[in-house]
Amino acid sequence: MGQKIIISTATIILLITGVLLGYVLSQLVLGFLALNLLTFLGTFSLILIFGTLYYVLFWEFRRQQSQPSPPRTTPQSSEPVPDERLRSRLIAILGGDTAAAERLVDLARQDYPGMPENWYWERAIAELERDNR
Amino acid letter at 61? F
Q: What is the pLDDT tens value at each position of the chain, 133 positions in all?
A: 677 787 788 778 888 888 888 888 888 888 888 888 888 888 888 888 888 877 877 777 777 677 665 555 544 445 567 778 888 888 888 888 889 889 999 998 998 888 888 888 888 889 888 887 7
| Whole-Å CA distances, 117 to 23, 38, 54, 124 | 61, 66, 44, 11
pLDDT at 74: 46
Rg (CA), the chain: 31
Closest CA to 13 of 48, 65, 64: 48
pTM of the predicted model over 0.75: no
b/e per residue, 72-85, with b = 16+ CB within 10 A? eeeeeeeeeebeee
